[in-house]
Amino acid sequence: MKQAITATYFHFPNQTSFYRGKVRDVYSFEDKIAMVTTDRISAFDHILKQAIPAKGRILNGVASTFLKKASSIVPTWLESTPHPNVAIGKLCEPIMLEMVVRGYLAGHAWREYKSGKRLICGVPMPDGMTEGQAFPTPIITPATKAEEGHDVDISKEDILAQGIVTPEVYAQLEQYSLALFDLGTQHAKEQGLILVDTKYEFGFFKGKVTLMDEIHTPDSSRYYIIEGYAERLASGEQQKQLSKEFVREWLMEQGFQGKEGQVLPDMPETFVDTVTARYSELYTQLIGIEPPNDTSEDVLWDIEQTIAEYFK
């Protein structure tokens, strides 16, 4: 099995700070950042014990593709992708919200719906829906972005009442999020996929709302296969999907949902290989080409030299 990138430990002469997220290692240089997408994988707000070979460059490739497309809609943080695992761009002041857009009843929304709830983040969900069914129009179900632990659902009304952002900024976030979801939906349809739900993160750069982080990747989004979708919906079958949801399902089968007292299971090597294959499949179907190969003899050295050269 190909070795995975679990973490980076670089120190650059002109580096101003460092932050390790669930998946990405972020090196700051005044008003710029170099973001290294590792092969770590998270679910239920926990980093899993095993990393997934090739996942980092697949994620970085998908995110970079869509960030470039998104620049016609919203200012984005991305400026360059000088290495398959590296993205370089603007250092933004984050808005502590995730703008979750849902076109279909799935995942967290379905689990809430199945428990009897018909309101999520203050947004009503119609009676009589089934798993995987499209909402009449896409809905926005925001979450507060936690420094640690679980993100928490929040309504638009509470966001404004707590002063997280102004009404004017929130309106802009809504507008951008729905336009980006439409962009992703149209691209997915052309590739035989349905963009089910996704999340967007924003920040400020020099006072301007700017799109941050990744977009439309299998970590941040859920995709269904269009072929056979209507038939599966009518018969009550599970939809075929390309996303990280199958990892969450595997964890739930092992008795883990990130709740207190639960023990994070080890992923067997065969399952790790399956996860790599699924990520590769999504890249190929979504982008239309094979994912970039790792031909490096020492990928960490290549990454370090790429960043050092860029910021010297």
Tens digits of residue pLDDT in 115-129: 999 999 999 999 999
pLDDT at res. 2: 64
pLDDT at res. 147: 59
- Counting residues of the chain whose pLDDT is more than 70, the rounded percentage is 98
| Contact indicator for 43, 248 with CB cutoff of 8 Å | yes
Where does residue 50 fall: left (phi above 0), alpha (psi -120 to 50 degrees), or beta otherwise? beta
pLDDT at res. 246: 87
Tens digits of residue pLDDT in 177-234: 999 999 999 999 999 999 999 999 999 999 999 999 999 998 899 999 999 999 999 9
Question: Alpha-carbon distance 1 to 16, whole Å?
Answer: 36
pTM over 0.85: yes
CA distances from 116 to 100, 125, 137 (A): 21, 11, 21
pLDDT at res. 148: 55
pLDDT at res. 1: 46
pLDDT at res. 149: 53
Over range 93-108, report the average pLDDT. Answer: 96
Helix (H/G/I), strand (E/B), else coil: 294: coil
Tens digits of residue pLDDT in 9-64: 999 999 999 999 999 999 999 999 999 999 999 998 899 999 999 999 999 999 99
Above 50 in pLDDT, residue 67?
A: yes
- Counting residues of the chain whose pLDDT is more than 90, the rounded percentage is 85
| DSSP for residue 52 | -
Give the list of residues 6+ apart from residue 111 with CB closer than 8 angstroms, or none: none
Backbone dihedral angles phi then psi of residue 172, each to the nearest 5 degrees = -65, -40
Over range 284-289, report the average pLDDT. Answer: 90
pLDDT at res. 245: 81
**Helices 269-287 and 55-70 meet at what angle, rounded to 10?**
20
**Mean pLDDT estimate for the chain:** 94
Q: Which of 194-203, 227-236, 268-277, 285-294 has the lowest mean pLDDT?
A: 285-294
Question: Alpha-carbon distance 109 to 115, whole Å?
Answer: 10
- Band of pLDDT at residue 294, cut at 50, 70 and 90: confident
Q: Which domains does the chain have, with CATH numbers?
A: 94-243 (3.30.470.20)
**Helices 245-253 and 269-287 meet at what angle, rounded to 10?**
160
Question: Counting every residue, how long is the chain?
Answer: 312
| Contact indicator for 310, 34 with CB cutoff of 8 Å | yes
pLDDT at res. 45: 85
Residue 58: closest CA among 244, 246, 266: 244
